Amino acid sequence: MTPETLSRLQAAIAAKHPVALCTRLADGAQLLLPGDAADAGLSDAAAAALLADKPTQHEGWFIHPHNPALRLIIVGAVHAAQAMLPMASALGFATTVIDPRRAFATEERLPGVTISHDWPDDAMAALRPDTRSAIVTLTHDPKIDDPALDAALRSPAFYIGALGSKRTHAKRVDRLREMGHDDAAIGRIRAPIGLDIKALTAPEIGLSIMAEIIATRRGAGLAQRG
Amino acid sequence: MSEDILATASAWRDAGESVAIATVVETWGSSPRPAGSRFAVSSAGRMAGSVSGGCIEGAVAEAAAATMANGTPQLLDFGISDESAWEVGLACGGKLKVFVEKLG
């Protein structure tokens, strides 16, 4: 790999531009797509690899997609959020915490984390969650969680989870119905949140949620609920 | 990103070392690391990342020395059924191809 190719690839990653590094295995020649000139077949294969987020080969070329990091949006700067954040970073997620309660969402409690003190409806409008986003609500407070879930359900986020017991969630479902969401939409919400590993402590809850996010992302059977 | 092998490799190169990058380009069976997994090695013997569960990194690092010296990329085959130059089997029974290239 030439230093020039490396710096262009790293610039694309830093700018969050999806790009595929294409390597001709016979001689090591490399292209970055989209961007460089290539025949239609290779360009199409690179576009497909980026969409699938999966490396592939095409006529002697190895196509290695580099998509922007998955995003994790946590609503509620609570103890479980603090425990989850280092795990999420280690798993490659770019993290944002939304909490309008400034006493909770402090730099001291969440070092190095992107914090939004906006109300969740405004914050979510600015963040525009996409198919590579996971959204987790942790406050238990309908004033904060509900507008976040409302926005989450109107987004194509691949994971939506809400902390709270079955009873809490039943009441939440009623409120979301009143906001105009049908059962299919509401069924996207993982509640009670997380894989059932009998988590008790904040780090255990964080682990169960992160494990469920990964299981959902990878299409694991563990992520299916009866 | 927590695991930015390219950034690590780039830093080694900036520090004046020769660096090679190995990338898994194809797997069969129960190979532990998927295509796209990277492993970087420097002329000083530094290593980062992985292309397997640890079974073949030593052999890749050895092969990478030649690529660092002459700049010629290599496509290495590893697998339990492979009786050729690489006497390195994968305990898991998987097979994989690893592309090794020099950085810079």
* pLDDT tens digits, B46-103: 999 999 887 788 899 999 999 999 999 999 998 755 444 345 555 566 789 999 999 9
Which of A198, A191, A200, A199 has its CA nearest to residue A225?
A191
Of B3, B6, B25, the CB nearest to A62: B25
Interchain CB distance below 8 Å, A64 and B23? yes
Domain with CATH 3.40.50.720 in chain A: 71-223
CA distance A206 to A42: 41
pLDDT of B85 reads 39
Give percent of chain A above pLDDT 70: 100
Give the count of Cβ contacts less than 8 A between chain A and B: 51
Nearest to A62 among B3, B10, B99 (CB): B99
> Does residue B25 belong to the interface with chain A, where contact is any CB pair within 8 Å?
yes
Give tens-digit pLDDT for A69-126. 999 999 999 999 999 999 999 999 999 999 999 999 999 999 989 999 999 999 999 9
pTM above 0.90, yes or no: no
Give the residue-averaged pLDDT of A46-65.
95
Does A62 contact B6 at a Cβ distance shorter than 8 Å?
Answer: no
* pLDDT at residue A171 in the model: 96
**Residues B15-25: tens digit of each pLDDT:** 999 999 999 99
pLDDT value, residue A168: 95
Whole-number Å distance between alpha carbons of A74 and A139: 10
- For domain A71-223, the CATH class is alpha beta
A48 φ, ψ to 5°? -65, -40
Q: Are A150 and A135 in contact (CB under 8 A)?
A: no
B2 and A CB contact within 8 Å? yes
| Of residues B59, B62, B64, B51, the one with CA closest to residue B88 | B59
Residue B13 pLDDT exceeds 90 = yes
